A and B are shown apart, each in its own frame.
Chain A
Amino acid sequence: MSTAAQTAQGVPPKPAAPSKPTTLWSLLLHNRLAAVGLAFILLWTVIALIAPWIAPYDPYATDMANKLQPPSAGHWFGTDNFGRDILSRVLYGARISIWTGLIAVAISFFIGVPLGGIAAYYGGRTGTVIMRVMDVLLSFPSLVLSMAIAASIGAGLSSAMIAVGVVGIPEFARLMFGQTVSLREKEYVEASRAIGVKDSVILYRHILPNALAPLLVQATLGMGFAILTASSLSFLGLGVKPPIAEWGAMISEGREYIISGQWWLVTFPGLSIATSILGFNLLGDGFRDVLDPRLRSGK
């Protein structure tokens, strides 16, 4: 058959070239690591949404007769020191961790982006003051600053969200600053200004959409950072307090049992934190690779 085709046309038929992905999503899905990251994120998001329906037990129901039981058919992840089912607590914990991450990143984004945009767009003294404050915030080690903020406000879920969110503000502000500085000189921005469009509209409608890609990368990576930092705060007693089913708090509660060999109290919440962060980090790295043409061509 192939010989016939070859003779008829004179040249051997070229194999069909595989179609190159072009849209952001198809590029992302072709990046294997990013696809794995996305799968982890989807898994934890779905678990967070349907936790009440899939959790085998009430995560807060104590059963002292069955405390510290190792993983078994009845309790897949075992039970904790109050006889609570660890699997159910891990599933419910996804809700708090994802929610904390989202709110913290939203705080960083919605405060950092306008500040960076205003600082770059107006420049002058306002811009200098804003960016110097951001520099000072960046000179604090992030976990240490979030600890100090959470300690100042008082332990709790909302203070953990605020603490982690505030720590993330300078990163978004710096990114938006850099983007706005290059975009504000573009012709379409000048044209908008010339026809009298308000500054706030120019920033929101013309500059922000064009600066969104790196901000999206930062937001994705920021989710991983937020989940890690918030769980660290809970572990130190500055975030979510027991008995709330939160991964960091669960590890904090279970840590005294590790020496006596009850590994399941900390292992499963720890793996949950690690896989959720891994998901956001892989997706964030994938986004960055896809959005950077230099890296894309290098693949």
Chain B
Amino acid sequence: MFAYTLKRLLQMIPALLGIIVITFILSRVLPGDPAIMLAGEQAPPETVDKIRQDMGLDKSLYLQFFTYFGQLFQGDIGYAYHTGHSVASDLASRFPATLELTLASILIAIVVAIPVGIIAATRKESVIDHISRVFSLIGACVPIFWLGLMFVYIFYSILGWAPAPMGRISGDLNPPTHITGLYVLDSLLTGDTAALKSSLAHLLLPAICLSTGTMAIVARMTRSSMLEVVDQDFVRTARAKGLKESAVIYRHALVNALIPTLTVLGLQFGYLMGGAVITETIFAWPGIGGYVTDSILAADYAPIQAFTLISAILYCGINLAVDLIYGTIDPRIRYE
């Protein structure tokens, strides 16, 4: 297992180099000139030249690449002109908000979609099966930005159930004492019930919005892999030896059907990174996604490229982690 993990980590190195090269190409080689973008179309040539020199864009491409590469290794992922801070510090301060939102949406997807997929498969052609299939179809087609706005309209404007889509906690409350940076967890740990209620209320709608696409895909995948498993001999044997139906489904069928679901969950991480940008914009969530949108609007380049780089690295890492979890779920899988 250790040897396999090490081998996979080593195999990731060329991929990571490729990711760095592509991020570099995106930032330096494509037609858009970052210096003009930063200075504005109407800026005098001297100002553009000065910015170009400051950014090192007047040097050769090779030199620029090695400078960029060296900076990355020192943890320098650029400077955000629109905030006046380094991108690394901006991302670090916003990371807990995005982590909280993403974790909540994954949790919702798992808690809702896996049971729905199981019920749909075990009661094929029932009402719940039809509802789950329609939901899976619609969930994959509805744009997340539209869904978020409709949630705001229905649950805030009409029903008044949700708080205003403005951040992580009500403006009249202080955030809970910082322990992990996740407001719900911190308020639980410190016993701050007012902050807990408010942070949960603020989290719920964006988390459901972000998880909708994932729920649709996970429910669909769980249903189809369960359908393949429930007809197999070992499930029939488990039933024949008189096991309770719940034991047959959860201890025999589900464990064998979980691998494809887990794969899809890993792949969904990429969708969640993109979705977080949109969801955070709609709900004024002070995370990395909202920061990226602000950078887009300010034509500030470095944060977008840094976000792209970090997303790709995390995406590779999470998919590796998913590969490693396979063996825990299914002991027949051996790593060599």
Contact = CB atoms under 8 A, between A and B. Distances in A.
Interface string A216-246: 0000000010001001100111100000000
Given A141-B271, A152-B27, A232 B307 contact: no
Contact of B275 (A143, A231, A238, A274): A143
Interface residues of A, number: 47
A5 interface: no
B270 A274 contact: no
Nearest to A137: B22
Contacts of A248: 143, 145
B202 to A, nearest CB: 15
Interface stretch (B54-62, B113-121, B176-184, B276-284): B276-284
A144 B311 contact: yes
A149 interface: yes
Interface in A93-138: 132-133, 135-137
Contacts of A270: 142-143, 146, 149-150
A152 B26 contact: yes
Interface stretch (B83-91, B104-112, B151-159, B248-256): B151-159
A251 B270 contact: no
A244 to B, nearest CB: 17
Interface in A245-299: 248, 251-252, 255, 258-261, 263, 266-267, 269-270, 273-275, 277-278, 281-282
The dominant DSSP class at the B interface is helix
Contacts of A232: 143-145, 274, 278
B296 interface: yes
B295 to A, nearest CB: 8
B15 A139 contact: yes
A144 B273 contact: yes
Contacts of A136: 15, 18-19, 21-22
Contacts, number: 155
A281 B137 CA distance: 8
A147 B307 CA distance: 10
Nearest to B18: A136
A147 B141 CA distance: 20
The dominant DSSP class at the A interface is helix
A153 B31 contact: yes
B207 interface: no
A282 to B, nearest CB: 7
A81 interface: no
A237 B138 contact: no
A228 B269 CA distance: 18
A148 interface: yes
Contacts of A282: 137
Sort A-B residue pairs by CB-CB distance and give the 7 closest, nearest first. A143-B274, A141-B270, A136-B18, A270-B146, A148-B308, A152-B30, A277-B141
Interface of B: 14-15, 18-19, 21-23, 26-27, 30-32, 37, 137-138, 140-146, 149-150, 152-153, 156-158, 164-165, 269-271, 273-275, 277-278, 281-282, 292-293, 296-297, 301, 304-305, 307-308, 311-312, 315-316
